[in-house]
Every structure is written in structure tokens, then in C-alpha cells.
Amino acid sequence: MSDEMMTEGERIASNFSMHLPTDTPLLPTGSDPKSLQVIAVLNQIAATHKASAEIVNASVDQLRENIRDAIDNANSSRET
């Protein structure tokens, strides 16, 4: 959406916070028992990170929506 088409609330809200990446680097490979243990732990860490990042990102989206709505509602009440 171009700046001309955005409401003031959308423009301001888009500057609040940022999403966390949910992707993770490729895990090492190996078939020896120690490597398999390390890979299993890294998989758990990656899954926990992704789940946590998705929660944070949803909160960021909600924050942006609330800011947008508050600004747009305040502006529309001034216009009437």
C-alpha cells in the first residue's frame, strides 16, 4: 500500500516494533550418536524459537492494529 493510500494511523503504526524472524539456519548433519543428540537439542531450540517468535509477531501485529485504530478514531472524531 502506498503512503498516499495509507491512513495516518497506518503510517504511524507501521513504524512501531518489528517482527522477529521465524526461520533458523540449517542444522548440522551427522550420524554418530553425539551428533544425533546435538541435532535433537538444536531442533528443540529451533522449535521453541519459532513458537516464541510467532507469539511476539502476533503481539506486534495487535499493537500496530490498536495504534492504527486509536489514531484513526481520534482523527475521525476531530473531523465531525
Task: Give the model's confidence band at 1: pLDDT under 50 very low, under 70 low, under 90 confident, else very high.
Answer: low
Q: Where are the domains of the chain?
A: 29-80
Instruction: Note the residue count of the chain.
Output: 80
| Residue-wise pLDDT tens digits, 28-77 | 888 999 999 999 999 999 999 999 999 999 999 999 999 999 999 998 88
| DSSP designation for 26 | P
Cα-based distances in Å from 6 to 1, 12, 50, 73: 7, 10, 31, 14
| DSSP designation for 15 | T
